[in-house]
Structure formats: C-alpha cells, structure tokens
Structure 1
Amino acid sequence: MLISDGLGESVVERQHAVGNEVDASVQGIVVQTGSITGDVHFRGGTAGEAAPRQLPSATPHFVNRLVEQDALTTLLSGPRAEGAVLMSTIDGTAGVGKSTLAVNWAHRVRERFPDGELYVNLRGFDPVAEPMTPNEALGFFLAALGVAADRIPAGDDARAAMFRTLVHDKRMLVLLDNARDAAQIRPLLPAARDALVLVASRNRLDELVVREAANRMSLDVLDDAESRELLAHYLGEDALAGDPEAVGELIRHCAGLPLALGVVAVRAVEFDCPLSELVEELSGERERLDALDSAGETGVRAVFSWSYRSLSAEAARLFRLMGLPTGADIGADALAALADRTKRDLRRPLAELLRANLVEQHERGRYRFHDLLRAYAAECAATDERESDRQDTVRRLLDFYLRTSARADYARAGGDSRGFVVDLPDSSIEGLVFGTDAEALAWWDAERHNMRAATLQARSFGLNEYVWQLPRSLMFFFHLRGYADDWIEAYTCAIESARFLGNDYATAYLLFEMSVAHYDRGDVDSSESYAAQSLPYFEAAGDTHGKTEALIGVGVMRVERGDLEDAVKPLETAVSIGQERRDLYTQGASLNGLGLLKAKLGLFGAAHAHFEQALRAYREVGENVGEGFVLHHIADTHRTSGNLEASIEAYRRAAELRLEIDHRPGAAASLRNLGNARHESGDLTGAREALQAALGLYEEIDPDTAAAVLDEIEVLPTS
C-alpha cells in the first residue's frame, strides 16, 4: 500500500509482491492498494468532517442589484486588518430584499470560502417571538461546527470563546440575517481575518461601522423599472405587455417591495387571473401590516390575505393557531396539542400550508414561519379567533410542554425522592412518554428555547401556575447540563409568580433550587443567601424535608467559604432531622456536608466515615448525582491526607459515574483531579490520559478552565 500525506515524501509498503506508484503530484491523502476487504475508514481531526454549508437556497427570481453586488465583491479584495473580521451590513426597510441580496450574492462567491458558510435568522424584528439571543445563535453555530449538544457550554462568554477558537484561521462566510442591533451581533463575530460577515437588518447598525469598521450598505426599494423586471421574472414579458396599466397599479400598491411583488406574481400564476383583477383585490383590502407600509400604499396584508383566503377552513385555522406561540419553531407533537388534533389529522392541512409557502418545514417534523407571515398569522388569530379560544390554544401548548417536561424530570431525577411533588394544572393533554433517558434529554435539548418562550408567554397571559412550573420542570436538566445562567433567568420569573400566588411550598423549593443554581455558577455568597431565604417559607409550608435541605445548603456554603464554626449547627441539625425522619435523601446530603466540614478541620477519619454513610443513603434512594459528588469528595480527602492510591481510585469511580449519567461538569472536574493525582503518584501516562479527557470536556463547557488544564498537560514531563 502507498500512502502519501501530501507533504512531499510517500511511504511504500510492499505486500504479496504488489507494487504501487504515483506518477502525478500528490495533494491530500492518497491510498493505493492491490485489494481491499471490508470497509475503509479515514480518521484525521476535522479534515474528515464536512464544512458547514448553511446558506438558504438562492431565489431564481432576483433583480440583480448589480451595483450592490459589485460593491460586496470589491470589499472582498480590499485591505484587511490583523485580528479584525471583514464585515458588511445591509440595512433597509422590511421586505426590501436584504436577505435575498445577501443570500444570492453569497452563493456567487461561496467557492471563495472553502471552510463553509454559517447562517442564522436572528429574529430581530419578529413581532411575536423574542429576538434570538447571541447565546442561542452561538449554540446553533457550534452545533453546525460539529460540537455535540451536551458539550456546548452554557455561558455567553464561553460559547463566544469556543466559536472564535473553532473558526480561527478559517475562510468562512457568516450570514447574520434579521439582526436587531450591534449588541446582538458582537458576540457572533469571529476574530478571523480570512472570514467575511454579512449582517442584514432593518436598522442602521452605525455602531458596527464606527467600532468594527464594517462596510455599510443601505438597500432602497426597487424603482418602477426594477419592479417591472422582477414581475417579468415571474410572469414573462408577454403577460406584462398585455395590460401595462394594471402592471403600473400593481407596482404602485407593492411600493417597490420585492416580497410583495413576488407574492402578487405567484398569485397571478397560481390562479391564472387577469392582472386587473389582482389590482382590484389589492386596492380593496385594509392596510393591516403597518410595519411594512410605505406612505400607506404597500397593501402587503392584502397580498398575504390572498393566500390565506384560498386555504381550506382546516388549514386556515391551523395557520391562525400557529401564529399564537412565541417560540422560534414548533415540533409536530406540540403542534398537535396546540391545534387539539392528532398528528395524523394535521397531515393534510400542514401539507396545504407547505404547498402555499405559508410555513416552512426547516427540519423533519419541525415548522416555522417567515417573520412577516407570522405577524399576519397572529393578526388573523386576533381577528378570527375568540379571545377565549386563543387562551385555550396557548394553554394546550403550555400543558404539552409542562407535562412532557415534568415526565422527563420525574424519570431522570429519581421520581419524588427529592420530596417535591408538583400538582400539575388539570388538562386533557397527556404529553410525551420517553423510553430512555437519552430520548428525554434529546427532547429537552430540542425544546429548551421554546419552553423559555412559553414561560414568558404564560407570564404575559397571567398564567402564573405555568410560569413557575415550567422552569421548575427543567431544574434537573439545567443542573445536569450545567446551564446555570438559563436556570437563574428562568427561576427569577418562577419565584416572582409563586410569590404572587401565595404558594409558600413552591416559593420555598424555588428559592432553595435557585441556591443550587448559584452554587453551580460558583457564587457561594448568593447560594447561601437563597438557601437562607427559603427557610421561612419551608417553615410556613410545614415542609420539614425542604427545611432540612435548606439547612444543608447554608451549612455547605459556609464550609466552602471557610466559616467552619458557623457551619456546624445547620449541618448537625440537618443530620439529626434526616435520621429522625428516616429521610435517606437528606441523610445523604447532610452527611456529605458534615464530611466536608470534618475534612476541612483535618479530621480525615471522621470525614470518611460520614462520606461512606452518605454513599449508602444515596445508593439506597437511587440518587446518582449526589453519589458522584460524594465520591469526588472522598477522593479529595484521600488526596489531601496523602493517600494517593485511594484518591486515584475514588476519582476514577466518580468520573465513570458522572460520565454515565451525562453530568459533564462533574465528570470534567473528577477527570482533572484524577490526572493531577496520577501525576503526583508518578504515573505520567495515566495523568496525561485523564487530563486530555478532562480537556476535551472543558473545551466544550468552560474554555477558561480548559486553558488551565492545557497548562497542566504541558508541564507534564515527556517521559
């Protein structure tokens, strides 16, 4: 076999008298062989991975805007500053064709960007949904670049740092569509001089021009000649020549907006109706989409109404109802709950909406609107659906998200072992059932952002039971994935609603779990504060289990901060209550806390005794997340006391358990300490192996810590 690595020399292996030669110059990897049996696989870092190609399809009906396209092309050959990204903004009114220009031009030059293209719709001006946060956009980009969902970090800065690392020195095109402002854009900018960023927005983004030296392009509406040219793309010159007066009226009503002109033309072709008839219909409609009006003459609502009025009653109702949710998209199961139909019943109306280009299936089983059509759908719902029906529709969707998420939470977190059982609002909606933990996690990953939107919508409707229960159903997911920032944001709304309802039981647990969120983020003071705030609510609710958990939280945070004397009473009280009530969950937590306290005091024998008791309690109740923490603390204590062999074994067990349950932040910490303990014991090979594994996790969840782990690897002796 001859294998060339493209770097000059080749390696020749002769087997069974088979010879191979390469006459031409070699670039990349070449394999020649006499015979091959079985499959052939190549592995080689990112070289084997396909570059992301996310550009939407270019439209064939496009008035070239040659001046603007030439300006963008000229920009590519202009000067580039070291460490700064080449960028152009394209602004203009809604429907003027900013996205169409950007996408069509990008297709023309995509071969100049061999490392791929990234695209995201930032929803900056969606009249219903919240604008996409930079955090969400970075999550989509990281996924497109091959980062597994469970390795994408939670924090804004960590995601931005990972994105910049992955695209460093890459020749990529990044298209940021429907941007709202510079603040939404800045975290998404790569520091790659060979990359190009295109930003389309209705607003002038002067801050990017001033601070980031972006090129600014302002896109105006089409003039009459360009509007006529666009109609000719759709209808042909013969159709336009037959009724020039009607053509002029259509152009006037559409006010040079390519979006409106395109829908008018599609209407004319689909229904084979005279242009004069279209003019009559367009002139008679009320002006509804004010955001698209140009001197009050656009008639875009009228244009949309043509497609809407042509729908069957069933499809029209589905179109209206789909305008009510505020999430970025909707899955088929959620849509069935929203419409109060089975997925089978929705096949026909959905197919009708897809054919009419009123909704888009952007991935299998998931649907979304163009933002202008979404606005129109929401307006149709406000006009054609009774208020009570609209509220019932939204409530069905909230029930679907809540009941599905609550089932996932109940299964993943060990049922009611935590002592907090929520009474869900009455509903005919059942929600989904998952066969495996992996399925539940995959659903959470897919719907996390929609559940955030649902929580905010529930708050706008005054549905406070959902405002606190939706975030609460995600608590275990937030904890497992390390999404502390999302957790804190959601629980801020949840606590406010629980207090409004006067629900001391819910308020107590939400405050305590907010304490855990702050602990996960490394904020010990805030963690102790929230745990302390929960205590009087647990007292008012008469919940001894919860009170015990809060005492443990207060005690452990004092241990973490070094206030050892003040930590004794809450921890010993918690141990006593747990043993008296035979509450294994709180026994495990309190004994773990007491073990930490004893270890800090240097009482290692007592510490290990408490840890072993905590392990037995956790294992009996099936609390594997807590078991992972205790194993890690056992390992820390052995290491501090000089028993490296026992420490290494405990770190290994902790890491294996945490990986098994997808607790990646915990697994990374255990692997890092395992590597350092092996280094101290003289096992350099084992140390490097463990630290490399920890580095792989930290690169996804905590780039700052990843840098520290890399330093630890680099100081390891080579032999």
Structure 2
Amino acid sequence: MPVGGSGLGAGSATLAELINNLGGLVTVGDGVHNESAAQIGGHSVQAGQIHGDVHFHNALEERLVPRQLPVAARHFVNRAVEQDALTTLLGGATSNGFVLISTVDGVAGVGKSTLAVHWAHRMRDRFPDGELYVNLRGFDSVAEPVESTDALGSFLIALGVPTERMPQGLEARAGLFRSLVHGKQMLVLLDNARTAEQVRPLLPGSPSCLVLVTSRNRLHELVVREGATRVSLDVLTADEAELMLASYLGDQRVAAEQEAVRDLIRHCAGLPLALGIAAARAVENPDFPLTEVVSQLQDERDRLDALDAGGVTGLRSVFSWPYRSLTPEAARLFRLLGLPTGPDIGLRAAADLAGRSRRETRALLAELSQASLLDQHEPGRYRFHDLLRAYAAERAATDEAAPDRDAAIRRLLDHYLRTSHSIDRFLVGHSRKFALVLPPSEVVGSTFDDEDRMLDWWDDEYANLTACIGQAHRRGFRAHAWSLAFTMFYFFRLRGYLAEWIRNFEMALGAVRELGDRRAEAQLLHGLAVAYFEAKQHEKVVYYSGLARELFEQADDRYDAAMSLLIGSESSSRLDRHDVALEMAQRGLELQVGVGDPNGRGYGHGCLGVAYMGLREYEKACSHFNDALTLYREVGEVYGESYILNELGELHLASGEPSTAVIMHREALRIRREIGYRRGEGQSFRGLGNALFAAGDREQGRANWEQALTIFEELGDVEADSVRQELGLC
C-alpha cells in the first residue's frame, strides 16, 4: 500500500525507516514483497510500494502483555443494564473488519469511569493480549487535555517501543500503534475524552480489539462515523443508591436508619459522587445518627457546601470542568437556567429567559446537552440534575449581576404570563367581564392554533407555572404573581388541583393587598370562594364570596357582584339553607339580567334551579335548568352546559325518571371527558351509577360507581367516602 495510506505524513519517518530502526523487532509476513530496481542486502529504505501486511513480533509479541487498568473502585454498585450492554457488544465481535467501539457518557460524578474500569476488570480474560488505558483529562480543572500524540506515545512504550526509537509525529505514532496491535485481542480504555478528534487517532484498525471511551460529552461523531455504540449512564435508582450506602456504612446501619437513608438519597439525587462524599462523612462519625448528615443537606443553597469534599474530586470542582469548557454564550445560558425554580423548561421559555432567538437558544441548549450539563428528557424540554441546578444557580449568583438576573426572571415570567393569559382568554373569556392588564413587556409568549394544544401547554407547564407564582412573589414581582395565578383559575378547576389552587390564590391575595389593588383583591376572593366550593367547604364559600361581593359592590361591578351572590347561593343550598339560597339566586339573576350577559344569566338560572330542587319544587327547577342550558349553548359555555346536564340528571332521578336521568348524565360525562374536567367526570360517573341502579341495572350501576371512586381517590376528593358507602350497598 502507499506509504501515505499507512497514516504517515510528510515530515514523518516512513514506515520502512521505522522498521529499519526497530531492527530485529520487525519481519515481513507471507506474501510481502518489495519492488526495487536492484537487489538489496541488510536494512533498506522503502521508496516505493509495500504490498501486504507488516508484522511486529518477537519481543513485542512474546514478552510484553500490557495490563494498564487502574484499580477497580471498592464501592461499586452493580450497573447490570449497562454492563450487559457492554458485554453484549463484546459478544457480537465478528470478522467483518470493523473495530468495536463503545462510548459511555453522562453527567459529571455519575460513575462513568468507575463502570468502565469495573467492567474491564471483569472481562480482562477476554483480552489475552492485554489492556491499554489512558486518562485523557478532557475536563480536568488543573491540567490541559492530553494530546493524542502523547497518549499514543504512552501506548507505544507499553507495547515495547524504546523511547529512543519513538516516532515523533501524530500520524507516524498512530500508524505504528495500529501495526503493533493488529490481530491482537486487546482492550483500549480511553477515559475522560473531550472530543471525537482527541479519540480518533487512538483507535486501532483491527476488529479483534475493543475500544471503550468515557466522556461527559456525547461523542455523536464517533457514533455516526465510526459506528460506536453509545451507553448513557443515568443516576442510581433508590435501590442502587441504598446498596452503595450499605457498602460504606454496612447493612445494619442502613437498615436501622431507613428514613434518614431515603432522605440522604433524595438530597444527593442519586449521584454516586455525592452519595460517596456524604457516606464518607458518615463513616468518619460512626456514632452520629445519619440524620446529622441529612440536616446539612436540607437547604438547597447549602447543599453544595455539604457535598464538597474539596480538591479535584470535590463536587464543585467536578462540575466546573464541563462548565469551563463551554462557549461564553452557552455558559451564560447555563447560569440563567439555574434561576427558575420549576422542574424543567421548554425551548420557547428558555429563549425568552435568555433574551435570544429560538434558533440561537436551540444551538446553545444542544451544546449544554452535549456536555451532559442538561438533559433533553423529551423533545423540546430540558431539565437539570438537581445538584447541577444548584451549581448553575450558584454560578448565576456569582457571575451574573443582580439587575441581569432580575431581567432574565422578568422575561421568563412575562413568557408564562402572556401565554397563559392568551389561553385563558380564548377558552373562557366569554365568562369574565374583568379585563386583566398585563405588565408591559417586549416578550410575546407562545401562541397555539387549537384548544387541545392550549390545554397540553397548561399540562406541560403546570409545575413551572406554580413555581413561578411563588418565585414572583418572593422576588417582588407582585403583579406577575397574582396575574399568573388568576389566569390559571379555569385550569385549576378543570384538573381538580384544589390544594394548589387555594395555596396559589392565597399567595396572590397577599401580593395584591401589598399592591393595594382592590379590584384584583375582589377577583381573587371570588376565585377562592369557587375553589372552596369545589372542595365542598361551603361555609368558607359563603365567607369568601361575601368579602368579594362587598368589594365588587364598592366598585359598582354588578356582573361580578352577581357572580359572588350566585356562588354563595349554591353553597347555601348545599348547607340546606334553601330559603337563603333562593333569595340570593333571585338577586343574582336580577343583576345579570340588568347587565345583559347571557353567560351570567345562565349561571343565575342554574342556581335558581338548584335552590328550587332543594325546596322540592321540581317543575320550577326544571324550567330554570332548561333556560340555563339554552343560554350556555348560545355562548358556547360547555363547562356550564355539562354542569346543568348533570343537575338535570339529578332532577329526573329525584322525579322518578331514571331512564331520562341516564341520558342526561351520559351527555354530561361526554362533555366533561372532552374538556378534561376530571372532578366533573367523577360526579357524572356517580350520577350515572345512581340512575342505572335505580333503573334496575345493578351491574352497570356498580361499574360506574367504581369509575367515580377511582377518580375521586386520585383527586383526594371527600366524595370518595360517599361512593364507597354506595358500593357497600350493592
């Protein structure tokens, strides 16, 4: 083959010169011949073509078997899935000419090197010609990454090449390395690689070798070009983490302090490095309970201090290695992503947080993911490992000026507020007269073209939205805090998130009282009344609706004053105060007729129907329910429509018409399923079960009660107790 084809470039020694220099270590194999114009004796310099293989043997082959693996870690948890993947790769070795390569990547401190070394020790009998190891220091905090030329030099020395005969160029060393390991069964472990370019010259050319690469970066180029198999290492499961702690502390101590062990695992977020540091501290103080260690980890702000062992193996130091390798723009995004307190972030929200275009942000997020500093756990959504988020927040506090941090958080709040507000206005804007005035911003937020995608956004962002309400309140963005909570009124109700609804509205109430905004205060008081109605705490409904009504009346807001009267009427009916309920419903309907709002009038007729049902005046109740149904359908108020249909089901059952009741409940159930109103689904299942049972279909009645019970138990609804009693009667 041509000399250049062996990996020797201009300015390097030719392969023949290397052969001559190595003297008796080299002979030519069968079928190798030299094209030369004359007969040559002794050593020669090849100036033309070499055909066939060049074999290095004698001292190299017979005497030197490198065994360079580092000592295996004592406290290793059996990573069965990942070890099986590596063993399967080794078992799939064929003679098709391809070198077997596997890359192991993952977040800093997750145990990539520990896994690779442990597995390699288990498999060393599969490599009779030895193992080569090099720490490439791709992310070292105190040293530069190892040059490929230097790594090859260490390999060649291990393979018996004398230092005085060592070729100097990268390509010359690579060519000689490939020649020396040709046909050998060897493992090459390349630890802590930074890039594919650093690894590529170190790859043997023989399919009898296996190369194992560990890196914090995801070396996609090796997967694409060299066909490497990628193994992504995740944090330890709770069971694996407990086994690891037991290896440090002993089974008896772990078994005796199970609650503390669980807390320790949770605070360390399953990261082996963090668990090892925490366990080592517990070992140093065997007489102290583990709760002492746990107490140091309670506060997220102090957690890195408690888990920082110092030196190059300390948690901060280990996290700093990939962080320092980032471009300035990606490093800034990393810091800013440490500011939000929600569990994850979407691409559009991240772009607004950073004040960049989505295209720019996507590239920076890809860089963070490539460096294993961020996980894209589903398309377009990203999250931190908990301890990495604490590190990002710490870097933001150190490296970002306070005004810049506040501006970034403000942009993120604007993103969530404007998106949630646009969804709220689209879905239920017809049911509100109060117009929310948003804080001024250049952020537009996200827009969607159909209702399903709007609800999907609320579902996806729910935890982030509630986290942002609390963060806005704590950081003094009071207008954002209460406005964001207010935009989620319908979603809280739809999904039955009652505890979160009440908690966030109470927090928002505190914010508007600090702002002195009486109209906003009235809206939140009314929202709390509705939340307590859903929670079946009717005395609180009467209390909060009364406070809201006073403020609405002071502002001459007749529409909302009527709504507070009507929710108070509903709860009075549930409290068996039917005369009071009737009077309040009549006053509320009169106000809504004066306002001329069909949605408000529909609610008024519905409340009158409930009041007359309580008084057992079923004809009047039915008339008002039908009027409400017509008005709700007129404005497209499907939530209200399903509510009235359910009430009509109850009315027909009470009137001795179970077959008609079945029809009403089924229609209500259909609508509630379509809009995702879980609590309503449970109520319709229960009503349908009652109607079917009364109609003589006991089996189907019980089946519907069981469906209702499942939903109520899922939501933690007190109505579950009533359904259990009904099931007990079957």
- The answer as to whether partners of 2:570 and 2:607 remain within 8 angstroms in 1 is yes
- 1:348 alignment counterpart: 363
Q: TM-score, normalised by structure 1?
A: 0.60
Q: Does 1:317 align with 2:316?
A: no
**Distance in 1 separating the partners of 2:600 and 2:501:** 23
Q: Distance in 2 between matches of 1:555 and 1:529?
A: 12
**Aligned CA distance change for structure 1 residues 291 and 197 (closer, same or farther; 3 Å):** closer
CA RMSD of aligned residues (A): 4.4
Residue 410 of structure 2 is matched in structure 1 by 395
Question: What is the alpha-carbon distance in structure 1 between the residues aligned to residue 622 and residue 244 of structure 2?
Answer: 59
State the match for 1:273 in structure 2. none
The 3 A distance-change label for structure 1 pair 624 and 376 is same
Q: Which runs of at least 4 in structure 1 moved beyond 6 Å after TM superposition?
A: 67-70, 95-102, 196-200, 206-219, 295-298
| 1:557 aligned onto 2:560 | no
The answer to whether 1:546 aligns with 2:555 is no
| Counterpart position of 1:466 | 480
Q: Contact conserved, 1:409 with 1:476, CA < 8 A, in 2?
A: yes
Provide Cα deviations, 1:133-183, integer angstroms capped at 9, x if missing partner.
Answer: xxxxxxxxxxxxxxxxxxxxxxxxxxxxxxxxxxxxxxxxx944999xxxx
Q: Deviations over 1:462-521 (max 9, x none)?
A: 000111011111111111111111111111111111111111111111111111111111
Q: 1:289 to 1:647 in 2, by over 3 A?
A: closer
In the aligned structure 2, how far is the partner of 1:584 from the partner of 1:575? 11
Q: Residue 542 of structure 2 aligns to which amino acid in structure 1?
A: E
Identical aligned residues as a percent: 38
Write out aligned runs for 1:261-272 (5 A).
none
Go from structure 1 to structure 2 and tell me whether the alpha carbon gap of 1:521 and 1:649 turns closer, same or farther (over 3 Å shift). Answer: same
- Which among 65, 90, 99 is matched to residue 74 of structure 2? 65
Q: After TM superposition, give the deviation of residue 626 of structure 1 in Å.
A: 1.2
Match for 1:650 among 664, 667, 679?
A: 664
Which consecutive residues of structure 2, in runs of 5 or more, have no partner in the other structure?
1-68, 80-107, 119-235, 266-271, 281-301
Moved more, 659-668 or 558-567: 659-668
Q: How does 1:662-673 map to 2 (within 5 A)?
A: 662-673=676-687
Paired with 1:605 and 1:549, the residues of 2 have a C-alpha distance of: 24
| 1:507-549 CA-partner distances (Å, limit 9, x unpaired) | 1111111111111111111121111111122123331111111
**Which region of structure 1 is more displaced relative to structure 2, 511-520 or 706-715?**
706-715
Residue 453 of structure 2 corresponds to which residue in structure 1?
A: 439
Question: Using a 3 Å threshold, how does the CA distance of structure 1 residues 707 and 596 change in structure 2: closer, same or farther?
Answer: closer
Q: How does 1:498-647 map to 2 (within 5 A)?
A: 498-647=512-661
CA contact (8 A) 1:361 1:368 kept: yes
How far has the Cα of 1:311 moved from its partner?
2.0
Aligned to 1:52: none
3-state secondary structure, aligned to 1:375: helix
Highest RCO, 1 vs 2 (Cα 8 Å, sep ≥ 6) = 1
| 8 Å Cα contact 2:494/2:677 also seen in 1 | yes
2:338 and 2:393 in contact (8 A); partners too:
yes
Candidates 325, 329, 332, aligned match of 2:347 = 332
**Separation of aligned partners in 2, 1:325 and 1:585:** 38
| TM-score, normalization by structure 2 | 0.59
Q: Which amino acid aligns with 2:74?
A: R
> In structure 2, how many angstroms separate the alpha carbons of the residues matched to 1:256 and 1:198?
8
Separation in 2, partners of 1:410, 1:342? 26
Does structure 1 conserve the Cα–Cα contact (< 8 Å) formed by 2:535 and 2:717? no
Secondary structure of the residue aligned to 2:431 is coil
Secondary structure of the residue aligned to 1:424 is: coil
- Structure 1 CA distance for aligned equivalents of residues 490 and 670 of structure 2: 20
Change (3 A) 1:651 1:68: closer
Distance 2:455 2:703 in 1: 28
- Once the two structures are superposed, what CA deviation does each residue of 1:316-369 show, in whole Å capped at 9, x if it has no partner? 221121121111111111111111112211233222222222222222222222
CA shift for structure 1 position 664: 2.3
Residues 628 and 644, structure 2, Cα contact 8 Å, conserved in 1: yes
Out of 210-219 and 590-599, give the one that drifted further.
210-219
After superposition, residues 44-443 of structure 1 pair within 5 angstroms as: 64-65=73-74, 175-176=237-238, 257=277, 290-294=305-309, 300-413=315-428, 415-443=429-457
Deviation at 1:686, TM superposition (A): 5.0
Structure 1 unaligned residues grouped into runs of 5+: 1-59, 71-94, 106-173, 180-195, 220-229, 232-253, 261-286
CA contact 1:402–1:466 (8 Å) conserved in 2 = yes
The residue type paired with residue 419 of structure 2 is T
CA displacement 1:199-239 (0-9 Å, x = unmatched): 99x999x99966979989999xxxxxxxxxx99xxxxxxxx
Q: Secondary structure at the match of 1:361?
A: strand
Aligned pairs, how many? 489
Measured in 1, the distance between the counterparts of 2:275 and 2:599 equals: 67
Which position in structure 1 is the counterpart of 2:209?
none
**Distance between the aligned counterparts of 2:577 and 2:559, measured in 1?**
24
Kindly name which structure, 1 or 2, has the bigger radius of gyration based on alpha carbons: 2
In the alignment, the residues of structure 2 paired with residue 207 and residue 609 of structure 1 have an alpha-carbon distance, to the nearest angstrom, of 71
Cα separation, 2, equivalents of 1:68 and 1:97: 12
| Deviates further, 304-313 or 614-623 | 304-313
Write out aligned runs for 1:6-25 (5 A). none
